[in-house]
Amino acid sequence: MSADPFSLHGKTGIVTGLANADSIAYGCARALHQAGAELLLTYGSPKADKHVLPLAAELGDAEALLCDVQEDAGVDALFARAAARWDKLDFLIHSMAFALKDDLHGRVVDCSREGFALAMDISCHSFIRLAKRAEPLLKEGGTLITLSYYGAEKVVDNYNLMGPIKAALEASVRYMAAELGPRGIRVHAISPGPIKTRAASGIAHFDQLLESAESRAPLRRLATSEDVGRTAVYLASQAGSGLTGSTTYVDAGVNVRA
Ligand code: NAD
């Protein structure tokens, strides 16, 4: 084992949710690759091919697979590939969310039954499904990480439907940590501040959220996907071996303000 507690040399992991170079998943993949990990990357839409494949090539020629979490065949193929390629898996990053625009832009009180179920399936239950599939491959224990947001905890204007969904995701993290901890599997949510990405552009008045976060942050800057990536390295490496079940804010400190 490396003397560096942050090293991921000899470790293998799946990073889901790449759409383009702005994706938080890409920030994670870059940092995990720099720390020495071998990666399988996934992207949710065939349209992302042209953005994701060149990024994968920069990450030690990481393999990139199309995997829509709503399609079992794609998820089967992902874990079959991981099992064929590696003796064991060490971590999985779940970095995806989706809500229909009408539901996302309206009041929580008005969101449709179908829209709520769809957002919950892709943004929350998919983490549970992927964890179940990863469990047998995490033979020496490991780390499962998902991405949440402060709107899970407090009402953030325009975050709407995603607030209750992220709250369910963070609660799932705690239950999964309790269930999987005895097997040495650690489960975390990372909660970044606002970062300009494709998914974020679906939130109304997102620019105002960015401006407010930057001015209110104790560090007087926005968090970046690189910041998130380094935190993922910490949580997935030996350095984070005593932690599980947490929601770790990577938001330049915004969450400490009243
Ligand atoms: P992004 O658009 O780069 O990534 C979102 C990803 O979700 C895309 O790759 C998309 O393909 C994927 N996705 C959507 N539906 C899918 C499906 N059915 N199957 C598989 N993948 C699917 O945006 P991002 O901001 O990097 O989002 C990543 C995560 O970070 C999300 O959970 C988001 O809620 C969370 N987050 C983002 C911010 C922010 O400000 N950007 C802040 C806190 C948390």
Q: Is 16 within any annotated ligand binding site? A: no
Distance 199 CA to ligand 1 centre (A): 5
Pick the catalytic residue from 26, 149, 150, 234: 149
Pairwise CA distance, residues 43 & 41, whole Å = 7
For 36-82, how does the pLDDT look when each residue is reduced to its tens digit (9 = 90+)? 999 999 999 999 999 999 999 999 889 999 999 999 999 999 999 99
Identify the residue whose tokens are 């549970």.
Answer: 128
- What's the first-to-final CA gap in the chain, in angstroms? 43
User: Quick one: pLDDT at residue 140?
Assistant: 98
User: Quick one: pLDDT at residue 61?
Assistant: 83
Pick the catalytic residue from 26, 150, 159, 249: 159
Distance 2 CA to ligand 1 centre (A): 32
* CB-neighbour burial class of residue 67 (10 A; exposed 0-12, middle 13-18, buried 19+): buried
* CB-neighbour burial class of residue 7 (10 A; exposed 0-12, middle 13-18, buried 19+): middle
- Is the entire prediction scored with pTM above 0.95? yes
Compute the mean pLDDT over every residue in the chain, rounded to the nearest whole number: 97
The ligand 1 atom nearest the CA atom of 17: 9
194 lines ligand 1 (CB under 6 A): yes
User: pLDDT-based confidence at 226, cuts 50/70/90?
Assistant: very high
Q: Is 99 within any annotated ligand binding site? A: yes
Q: Are 41 and 78 in contact (CB under 8 A)?
A: no
Pairwise CA distance, residues 250 & 105, whole Å = 25
Q: Is 224 within any annotated ligand binding site? A: no
Domains with residue ranges and CATH for the chain: 12-256 (3.40.50.720)
Average pLDDT score over residue span 88-102: 98
User: Quick one: pLDDT at residue 253?
Assistant: 98
The ligand 1 atom nearest the CA atom of 24: 26
The percent of residues in the chain predicted with pLDDT above 70, rounded, is 99
228 lines ligand 1 (CB under 6 A): no
pLDDT at 2 over 90: no
User: Quick one: pLDDT at residue 174?
Assistant: 98
Distance 120 CA to ligand 1 centre (A): 13
For 149-201, how does the pLDDT look when each residue is reduced to its tens digit (9 = 90+)? 999 999 999 999 999 999 999 999 999 999 999 999 999 999 999 999 999 99
43 lines ligand 1 (CB under 6 A): yes
pLDDT at 1 over 70: no
197 lines ligand 1 (CB under 6 A): yes
* Residue owning the nearest CA to atom 7 of ligand 1: 96
Half-sphere exposure of 85 (CA within 13 A, CB side): 17
Q: Is 48 within any annotated ligand binding site? A: no
156 lines ligand 1 (CB under 6 A): no
pLDDT at 225 over 60: yes
User: Quick one: pLDDT at residue 194?
Assistant: 98
Average pLDDT score over residue span 242-254: 98
